[in-house]
Amino acid sequence: MPEENLAIPVTPDAIDPSWLTLALRQVGVLDRAEVVAVDVTPIAAGSGFVGQAARLQITYSEQEASAPASVFAKLSSADPAVRQQLRRVGLYETEAKFYRDLAPLPTFPVPVPCPYLSLYDEATSACVLLIEDLGQAEFGDNLAGCSSTDAQLVVQQLGHLHAHFWNDPFLKELPWLRTLTDDAEARIALYRMMLPRFEQRCADFLTPSLVQSARKFAVALPNYLDWASQRPQTLTHGDFRADNFAFTTTHKGRGVTVFDWQVARRAPGPRDLAYFLSGSLPVELRRATEKSLLNLYCETLVFNGVEGYTAADLQEDVQAGLSAPLTTWVIAAAMLDFSNERGVDLIKRVCARLGAVLEDHHFVEYLDEHVTPDSRSGRSARLEKHEVYSAGYDPMVLQGLARRAATRDAAFFVPYLKPDMHVLDCGCGPGGISVTLAALVPQGRVVGVDIEDRQLDMGRQAAQQQGIPNVEFHHASLYALPFADGTFDAVLAHAVVYHLAEPMKALRELRRVLKPGGMIGLRDADFDGDVYYPPHKDVDRFWNLTVRVIEQSGGDARFGRKQRRLLREAGFRDIVASASSDAFGTTEMTAGFSRYFGGIFLNQHREMILKEQWATESELAAMQNALIAWGSHPDAFYARCRCEAVGWK
């Protein structure tokens, strides 16, 4: 949807005929007609702290078939401070970009309001949405709850949604679509901070099961987030309850439209199902229909092509997914305006239903058995998520990494450096690039980060031996860097992002720690650009096998070609791409290269290769022999393509 030269209104009243005419023309809804009048009716239930909502009744200069008589407008809060608070959880960005990137897809599997316009200003977090007015539909009501017939309809649609995006790599390419581990520390801190207030404000209608579950989950939350990140991921609604459904009945039958996508996530799908069961069905109806609804959901997944996911898997994931409504309602009840009578009634009803479902599903026992840290063993939550480094950490690998230098391996990046810059080197390994970068910014400082502590120690030793004082090394994941916003002038990620299963999440985090105007540099492999000589069928088979290993470990062997697009989608500008290569052109180099791949690499991944049936033992032996023979051949040559890109915040 075009966004050029269209300001975002601060309040619904600021939407006048000229603005609306321009907006509807830019998105192709209007051709000849003009908007001559707009009747703006604020909707109190959709306005307040989080944002503003209004229904726009539109009068045109002439009739056009595509011109809507009314639209629903959603705007961010008029308060800049509120917008910045909500920016951390991506509330406005998520919904605006859902309607921009996902809702218009012709294959989107569930009915959603038709989007006309979606604008989001990253600098101010201001947002405006113009979407289909569902005013003539029959809206769901959490207080009354869904009927058993509507529950079946809703659950079947949910199954269609989750199956369509089940473990779909496309979702990882959407930089705005967060996961449960994004901002994990803030999420944990908020829940724990709100829990005492929740207990105090809702004391009159809390069940013992609900109180016990809420307290137990405060301890288990870090481990739960880690566990959930390992389960199958799909597109989730995040607030899947009756208040966010609009039902219609036509000659084709009963249908449901799902709206309010502000907390959409990439997460385990059964969280949505648990959320619906716990809050949108009266207790006795839920108990009577739950088994059939779970079966319906599971059957819908299978019918739509999801393989290897069993009824037992679903049962466990729904049990774990009860943490979704628990977290939401603990925080919401702690912050709720108790002068709102319907809001108080809703919390009372939800607490009764939630307490019952937590007890029925033995949620506390589940946490004790599967999630809660064992204080006796000292086990703690692993909030840091990272993929397997497919090259491994053999001494031969570390020696090669230690020989890297900024002037050679980051030559595309170095010309942009200034002597006083504060630079972050991501995936620094043994520090070869970090230490040589520090020499290039003598009035600045370099920080190297990696997930493997032995390499960090090697970097510290190298800096000490070479007398380089302005470099330091820290253990950190690119998904959750321990630095404040706007810390660095420049960020370098050399041969690391292509190993990540969630590159957009990492790029978003790297952008966060850059100062405005700061620079990012990427250098990553693209295996389709590699060349070697002389050719051999078993060596060809081996290179195809390395691509499978890298991708099975979470990486993308063809990442390099995508750098410009991904940097642009992550919010960087003025992106300049280039390419170079790492070459092995002496017998000593090719022999060492083949010894590593033919021995260390194959042995390291042998179990995976055999398990996945990518090759047999005899085929692996043939590849190994061919690699060793190739490496000692007098004409042997190998060059690895490295794609590079720089961009600015």
**What confidence score (pLDDT) does residue 89 get?**
75
Orientation angle between helical segments 537-552 and 617-631, nearest 10 degrees: 110
Distance of CA 634 to the CA centre of its chain: 48
Is the pLDDT score of 510 beyond 60?
A: yes
| 577-601 residues labelled b (16+ CB within 10 A) or e (exposed) | bebbebebeeeeebbbbbbbbbebb
Is the pLDDT score of 223 beyond 90?
A: no
**What confidence score (pLDDT) does residue 339 get?**
63
CATH for 50: 3.30.200
Nearest partner of 445 among 466, 417, 464, judged by Cα: 417
Nearest partner of 69 among 116, 105, 101, 102, judged by Cα: 116
- Model confidence at 21, pLDDT cuts 50, 70, 90, reads very high
**What confidence score (pLDDT) does residue 596 get?**
84
467 in a structural domain:
yes
248 and 180, same structural domain?
A: yes
Contact 284, 138 (CB under 8 A): no
**What confidence score (pLDDT) does residue 266 get?**
95
224 and 292, same structural domain?
A: yes
Nearest partner of 225 among 345, 358, 380, judged by Cα: 380
- For the chain, percent of residues with pLDDT exceeding 70: 93
How is residue 7 annotated by DSSP?
P
CA 330, CA 182: separation in Å to the nearest integer?
20
Nearest partner of 363 among 320, 392, 330, judged by Cα: 320
Q: Cα Rg for the chain, rounded, in angstroms? A: 28
Nearest partner of 368 among 230, 475, 219, judged by Cα: 219
CA 633, CA 588: separation in Å to the nearest integer?
10
Contact 236, 266 (CB under 8 A): yes
3-state SS, residue 48:
coil
478 and 448, same structural domain?
A: yes
381 in a structural domain:
no
How is residue 179 annotated by DSSP?
B
- Model confidence at 130, pLDDT cuts 50, 70, 90, reads very high
Neighbours of 247 (CB within 10 A): 19
Neighbours of 99 (CB within 10 A): 24
CA 293, CA 272: separation in Å to the nearest integer?
13
| Average pLDDT, integer, range 386-404 | 64
| Average pLDDT, integer, range 68-72 | 95
7 in a structural domain:
no
**What confidence score (pLDDT) does residue 46 get?**
42
| Average pLDDT, integer, range 118-137 | 90
Is the pLDDT score of 394 beyond 70?
A: no
Is the pLDDT score of 399 beyond 80?
A: no
| 545-556 residues labelled b (16+ CB within 10 A) or e (exposed) | bbebbbeebbbb
625 and 534, same structural domain?
A: yes
Length of the chain: 649
258 and 111, same structural domain?
A: no
457 and 310, same structural domain?
A: no
87 in a structural domain:
yes
CA 439, CA 254: separation in Å to the nearest integer?
69
Task: Tell me the average pLDDT of the chain.
Answer: 89
Contact 4, 35 (CB under 8 A): no
Is the pLDDT score of 401 beyond 90?
A: no
- Model confidence at 425, pLDDT cuts 50, 70, 90, reads very high
CATH for 479: 3.40.50.150
Q: Tell which wins on pLDDT, 480 or 533.
A: 533
423 and 365, same structural domain?
A: no
| Average pLDDT, integer, range 606-634 | 92
CA 628, CA 632: separation in Å to the nearest integer?
7
**What confidence score (pLDDT) does residue 48 get?**
46
472 in a structural domain:
yes
351 and 415, same structural domain?
A: no
CATH for 291: 3.90.1200.10
248 in a structural domain:
yes
Neighbours of 343 (CB within 10 A): 15
CB proximity list for 168: less than 8 A, separation 6 or greater: 234, 235
pTM score, whole prediction = 0.68
**What confidence score (pLDDT) does residue 364 get?**
92
Partners of 246 in the β-ladder: 139, 257
Last residue of a domain, one of 109, 132, 155: 132
151 and 119, same structural domain?
A: no
Last residue of a domain, one of 72, 105, 132: 132
213 in a structural domain:
yes
Last residue of a domain, one of 338, 355, 371: 371
- Which range of residues forms the domain containing residue 581? 395-648
| Number of domain units in the chain | 3
48 and 195, same structural domain?
A: no
What DSSP element (H or E) covers 547?
helix 537-552
Q: What is the pLDDT of residues 556-579, one digit of tens each?
A: 889 999 999 999 989 999 999 999
**What confidence score (pLDDT) does residue 400 get?**
66
- Report in angstroms the alpha-carbon separations of 298 from 141, 232, 270: 26, 14, 10
- Model confidence at 608, pLDDT cuts 50, 70, 90, reads confident
157 and 193, same structural domain?
A: yes
569 and 593, same structural domain?
A: yes
4 in a structural domain:
no
Name the one residue in this structure whose structure tokens are 């898997």.
Answer: 313
